[in-house]
Amino acid sequence: MTRRSRWDLIVVGSGLFGLTVAETMAREHGCRILLLERRAHLGGNAWSEAEPQTGIEIHRYGAHLFHTSNERVWQYVNRFTAFTGYQHRVFTIFKGQAYPMPINLGTICAYFGQYFTPDQARALVARQAGTAAGRAENLEDKAVSLIGRPLYEAFVRGYTAKQWQTDPRELSPDIITRLPVRYTFDNRYFTDTYEGLPVGGYAAWLTRMAASELIEVRLQTDFFDVRADLPADVPVVYTGPLDKYFQYSEGPLSWRTLDFEPQVLACGDFQGTPVMNYADEDVPWTRIHEFKHFHPERDYPADSTVIVREYSRTATPGDEPYYPVNAAADRHRLLKYRSLAAAEHNVHFGGRLGTYKYLDMHMAIASALSMVDNTLVPRLAAR
């Protein structure tokens, strides 16, 4: 490979997509990487850190739970960290009562106050859904068709209204299409082959990914501030906002953002579980995280705990984007941005922000490995 610069590849953004690209290209192909990150730390939204008063590891940008059924991804992440045996389970409070989520046979029995066999529960939900499946023109109709009106009113309507700040009847049915309903007592949130949390925390895992001497990391560096000074002949993997790259020429893409309210409490256990959802619409937060429960194997203080209330709202300029809204206007703009992106010969767009797709961690890693195999290696080999 003929070197035209001190770098073979520039990666913009050090989330799991960008880190995977940088680490793999350096380790497997000997490429020299410039990794640019506008924040003061690596890892994007997966970053974690110790709360200074208690030492409890908190996830700065909301709970991150690793899970995958992709064997290649699992083998890849185990290069950098071992994982605990943690299995994620969520509960939701509705009218002062806690129920297991996602909706399963235990939820149905508890809500209706009696035991149902799986077949009885299916028949009950089918009766309550009625003919909704034939007229699913919005989220509410679709949800009712899947779980019936009573369960929808209890566990979906209020929570969704808070999450999207929009009446569910105004939201696309696609948002709720994969709503899980289980007619067993299995209350695991995920059903992937592999699941766990990094033994040493996310910060240690993510830092190891960028440890190669072939990777030059520049934190607190905004790509758009240094763009003019970068060599034009070096390929770029861009994982920032797609619309920002093109100076919002087709209009801004809309996102949901999250606000977090941490609190240290002088008690050993606040809620008895890592995540508690709040389905009542008059409760302003969507859920509360209690991070000590993510690592019961650790020796955390017995007389204190850290909770973080999470709130959802529409992202405004300057906010951190989390979930793509993907309304009709967004989809129209996205097609135009994708055409512009395809015309950028030396820039490759990836990650959650760069593709305007919500990607779980394992999905971001898989997508990055695919870009390395199918795009970057062939392109760099041809230089």
DSSP string, 311-336: EEEE--TTSPP-EE---HHHHHHHHH
* Catalytic annotation, pick one of 32, 157, 287, 352: 287
Domain co-membership, 71 together with 129: no
pLDDT score recorded for residue 111? 98
Looking at the domain assignment, is residue 171 inside a domain? yes
Domain co-membership, 162 together with 208: no
Looking at the domain assignment, is residue 265 inside a domain? no
Domain co-membership, 143 together with 230: no
- Residue 114 DSSP code: S
pLDDT score recorded for residue 137? 79
* Catalytic annotation, pick one of 119, 178, 282, 299: 178
Cβ of 175: how many Cβ atoms within 10 Å? 19
Domain co-membership, 223 together with 351: yes
Closest CA to 9 of 205, 29, 176, 302: 29
pLDDT score recorded for residue 256? 93
Looking at the domain assignment, is residue 216 inside a domain? yes
Domain co-membership, 226 together with 342: yes
Domain co-membership, 152 together with 56: no
CA distance linking residue 254 with residue 232, whole number of Å: 30
Range of the domain at 161: 117-175
Phi-psi region of 91 (alpha: psi -120 to 50; beta: other; left: phi over 0): beta
pLDDT score recorded for residue 133? 55
pLDDT score recorded for residue 1? 39
38, HSE (Cβ side, Cα atoms, 13 Å): 14
Cα angle, residue 157 at apex, residues 152 and 161 outer, rounded to 5°: 165
Looking at the domain assignment, is residue 19 inside a domain? yes
Per residue in 23-40, pLDDT tens?
999 999 999 999 999 999
| Reported pTM | 0.93
Looking at the domain assignment, is residue 189 inside a domain? no
Identify whether 39 is a catalytic site residue: no
Q: Are 260 and 291 in contact (CB under 8 A)?
A: no
Domain co-membership, 338 together with 234: yes
Domain co-membership, 16 together with 73: yes
Identify whether 89 is a catalytic site residue: no
Residue 165 corresponds to which amino acid?
Answer: Q
Give me 73's structure tokens. Answer: 């991804």
Q: Specify the number of domains making up the chain.
A: 2
Give me 136's structure tokens. Answer: 């699913």
Identify whether 310 is a catalytic site residue: yes
Domain co-membership, 339 together with 228: yes
Domain co-membership, 205 together with 57: yes
Q: The domain that contains 14 carries what CATH number?
A: 3.40.50.720
* Catalytic annotation, pick one of 32, 39, 60, 182: 182
Looking at the domain assignment, is residue 92 inside a domain? no
Identify whether 182 is a catalytic site residue: yes
Domain co-membership, 121 together with 168: yes
Looking at the domain assignment, is residue 65 inside a domain? yes
- Which parts of the chain sit beneath pLDDT 70? 1-4, 131-135, 177-178, 383
* Catalytic annotation, pick one of 169, 358, 373, 383: 358
Residue 16 corresponds to which amino acid?
Answer: L
186, HSE (Cβ side, Cα atoms, 13 Å): 11
* Catalytic annotation, pick one of 32, 39, 60, 256: 256
* Catalytic annotation, pick one of 250, 280, 319, 360: 360
Domain co-membership, 213 together with 167: no
Identify whether 320 is a catalytic site residue: no
Q: Which of 134, 160, 175 is the last residue of a domain?
A: 175
pLDDT score recorded for residue 178? 66
Closest CA to 210 of 28, 1, 34, 30: 34
Looking at the domain assignment, is residue 97 inside a domain? no
